[in-house]
Structure 1
Amino acid sequence: MIRIDERAHIVASPSSWIEGEAERQLRTTSGLAGVRWAVGMPDLHPGKGHPIGAAILVDGIVYPHLVGSDIGCGMALFRLELPGSKLNAERLAKRLRGLEGTWEGDAEAWLRDRGVVDPSFVDALGTIGGGNHFAELQAVHELAEPSAVHPLGIEKKSLVLLVHSGSRGLGESILRAHVAIYGAKGLEVDSTAGRDYLRAHDRAVMWGRANRALIAHRFAESVGADLHPVLDVCHNAVTPHDGGWLHRKGAAPHDQGPVAIPGSRGTLTYLVEPTGDGVSSGHSLAHGAGRKWTRSDARARMRDRFRAGELLRTDLGGFVVCDDKDLLFEEAPDAYKRIDRVVADLVDAGACRVLATLRPVVTYKIRKNGRE
């Protein structure tokens, strides 16, 4: 554990690399009014004023900036059943398309069936978005705890789909509306403004879950697969906890069962199970590997070393679908920290145990219309 001040620490070993700016931002966050404690995950890295990869418990106040613009962003894991006995990843990658375009189905009905009555941003429903979002077909690499993953329907030969996305423009509109009136100020939970924000926040969280489910549905439909939900965990949200309000920005909950923690498109995803009481880890787990380089640094560094086409295959043999060259460089595996180190820090802290590792087969980011 790395101690920052009396109210803040990072769940990481001294050998893990944490940027000084991320530590500074966590210290600043711990000094906000009402903050009881602030805990950084091993993937902690700098954000816009406040760090990403952190859990912050606040008494009586909600801070929209500590949740961010992509309210409800999270990871959903599905088991896929493909027809036939042999997986042809390259052929499958060519069949995938359209996950950035408007869904032709009844988006409002899809939302209503999942408890979302506000039809806002329906044109974006079922789309992945940019940044570090993705839909990734994965194969089981290793089962560390076979008996624990059996109830999830995952076996050695299973194929799974991991979807990382959120509430798209809806979450951003909620934060923008707050900033337009209140700037970076927090809101008293019992105030009219606080209650309004929490209602909008909860709607965005539900919208995000519905979005991940539709992305998975579209992916499975493209490849002719059957789809079976395994888990859906949100990592950008604020929830009641121990008499206060637990803000998570890039941190998965510790009390909702197994969590998928991806590294990058070129590294393994870890399926973990929370252990212990969660106190030392802020009742949270890491949500990924965390960025090592900024997007501009990643573009510059990777362009000096690779042509874009060379990044469409990974060291693990996976195929990458990404027609945006900037995004291809920005999201290169080298731009991220070591996922094995992140997970090892969590395990050493007693926060989780590894159930299985998953290997990327096809990572879908964006395919421009008309690309064959």
Structure 2
Amino acid sequence: MGTSKVNAPLQQKPQGAFVRKFYSSATWIEGKAEEQLQHVAQMHDIQKIAVFPDLHPGKYGPVGIAILANRLHPQLVGNDIGCGMSLFILDLPARKIRPEKAAKRLRLLEGTWDGDPFALMEERGLPLDATPSSLGTIGGGNHFCELQVIDKIHDQELAEQAGLIKDASYLLVHSGSRSFGTEVFEEICSHGSADLDLDHPQAINYLNRHDQAVAWASLNRQIIAQRAAKALRSEAKLLTDSPHNLVERVKGAILHRKGAAKADMPFVPLAGSRDSLSYLVKPTNNDEESLLSLSHGAGRKYDRSSMHGRLNNKKSDLARLSRTSFGGHIVCEDRHLLIEEAPEAYKNSAQVLRELTGQKLATTVAAFQPLVTFKKAKQESKRPTSRRNTYE
């Protein structure tokens, strides 16, 4: 295990990229994440890397970083292209919510959406064969739909600008491009190129398909929110949509974000675990070294497989994991996922926020308390004994 240096300055590794770490020694960073970071920094075509306090290991490279490069590296973004978080306000007063009743209603999010996806896909310029049956579904892993209420408004003026209402209820939706993003990623990987010049035909095709996946993921979050709002007998209005797995063209270079939220927008959600506060922040964008990016959440502290050894599989423990210290409810019938996504698996979201505000990358707008976190409403099928060791 390793930790970062206090207020680590802009660094340049020998024959490597400039690396700027936006966290202090107060933030827990695993050594494997640091090793992956060093590997990425040594790639010959990487210019700059911004690293955030939610940094943790990933499958192809670390999560919680933004990377400016001269070439395209699809594996640094991975398969869940366009994954992000969207915050919605509901016309449902917080005082009228009964968490247990709301949890039962949100179970309707399980399974496929019964709406017509094609008009919405055509409206967004998406190919009609882009896995329409997956639209409106959350997926597994760390994805969720969470019913929230405001715990505290930190900046009243900014809260009004963001459209927040103290006594309202909210939905925070975390999901991505599902099987469509996987299809786009596997297609580029099938050519065997780890990196590509930006004018290479495969790169051009990938970037076009990538942009479709980002749009697909945004639409997916919108439909999930509409499904949840309908189950709660309310209407949802989008306040902010913030992707954190994507690439962008930047003056002849390419900016990769892996678990790093786009900060060139008015407001960005910062998700906690299902038993901690989440936040809405306003990016300050006063530091070019941050590559217009921010942390997207608390970030994992322990990988999925190790959580099965850290927590017991007894009924009493599983019952505890289905409730929160706020009196909220967790809808997750997959006991493996319930353990792997336990609050103990994540870093402290308040500490991540302190680092971001301390580094003057963001201003806190409001804190949100979880009431119901939906992940999965059906019992899991039997899983193989050999489990993939992953943080993502």
2:137 alignment partner in structure 1: 127
Determine the C-alpha separation between the residues in 2 that align with 1:228 and 1:151: 15
Equivalent position to 1:114, from 113, 116, 124: 124
**Deviation of residue 242 (structure 1)?**
4.1
1:2 alignment partner in structure 2: 8
Q: For the Cα contact (< 8 Å) 2:92–2:168, is it kept in 1?
A: no
1:218 aligns with 2:235: no
1:100 alignment partner in structure 2: 110
Equivalent position to 1:303, from 296, 308, 312: 312
Greater CA drift, 16-25 or 135-144: 16-25
Q: 1:348 to 1:84 in 2, by over 3 A?
A: closer
Structure 2 residue runs of 5 or longer lacking an equivalent are 1-6, 380-392
Runs of 4+ residues over 4 Å off in structure 1: none
The secondary structure found in structure 1 opposite 2:35 is: helix
1:188 alignment partner in structure 2: 197
Greater CA drift, 344-353 or 101-110: 101-110
1:323 aligns with 2:333: yes
Q: For the Cα contact (< 8 Å) 1:254–1:278, is it kept in 2?
A: no
* 2:350 counterpart letter in structure 1: D
Equivalent position to 2:257, from 224, 230, 248: 248
* 1:2 counterpart letter in structure 2: A
Determine the C-alpha separation between the residues in 2 that align with 1:151 and 1:352: 15
Structure 1 residue runs of 5 or longer lacking an equivalent are none
**Deviations 1:215-248, CA, capped at 9 Å, x for gaps:** 0010011110111110101100000224411100
1:206 alignment partner in structure 2: 215
2:324 alignment partner in structure 1: 314
Alignment: residue pair count: 367
Determine the C-alpha separation between the residues in 2 that align with 1:2 and 1:25: 17
**Deviation of residue 304 (structure 1)?**
6.1
Determine the C-alpha separation between the residues in 2 that align with 1:117 and 1:155: 37
The secondary structure found in structure 1 opposite 2:179 is: helix
1:235 alignment partner in structure 2: 244
Equivalent position to 2:78, from 68, 78, 87: 68
**Deviation of residue 110 (structure 1)?**
2.2
* 2:274 counterpart letter in structure 1: R
* 1:212 counterpart letter in structure 2: R
Q: For the Cα contact (< 8 Å) 1:100–1:129, is it kept in 2?
A: no
Q: 1:358 to 1:205 in 2, by over 3 A?
A: same
**Deviations 1:252-294, CA, capped at 9 Å, x for gaps:** 0121110000110000001100114232323210011111111
* 2:308 counterpart letter in structure 1: R
**Normalized against structure 2, the TM-score is what?**
0.90
1:352 alignment partner in structure 2: 362
1:12 alignment partner in structure 2: 23
Determine the C-alpha separation between the residues in 2 that align with 1:268 and 1:121: 34
**Deviation of residue 52 (structure 1)?**
0.5
**Deviation of residue 85 (structure 1)?**
5.1
Determine the C-alpha separation between the residues in 2 that align with 1:49 and 1:153: 37
2:177 alignment partner in structure 1: 167
**Normalized against structure 1, the TM-score is what?**
0.95
Determine the C-alpha separation between the residues in 2 that align with 1:118 and 1:279: 39
1:339 alignment partner in structure 2: 349
**Deviation of residue 113 (structure 1)?**
2.5
* 1:115 counterpart letter in structure 2: G
Greater CA drift, 47-56 or 148-157: 148-157
The secondary structure found in structure 1 opposite 2:112 is: coil
2:42 alignment partner in structure 1: 31
2:32 alignment partner in structure 1: 21
| Identity rate, percent | 41
Equivalent position to 1:286, from 288, 295, 304: 295
**Deviation of residue 44 (structure 1)?**
0.3
**Deviations 1:104-157, CA, capped at 9 Å, x for gaps:** 111112222333234321111100000000000100000000111113321221
1:146 aligns with 2:156: yes
Q: 1:253 to 1:84 in 2, by over 3 A?
A: closer
The secondary structure found in structure 1 opposite 2:96 is: coil
Determine the C-alpha separation between the residues in 2 that align with 1:213 and 1:145: 27
Equivalent position to 2:62, from 37, 40, 51: 51
Equivalent position to 1:82, from 92, 115, 118: 92
The secondary structure found in structure 2 opposite 1:271 is: strand
* 1:246 counterpart letter in structure 2: L
**Deviation of residue 83 (structure 1)?**
7.0
Q: How large is the Cα RMSD of the aligned pairs?
A: 1.6
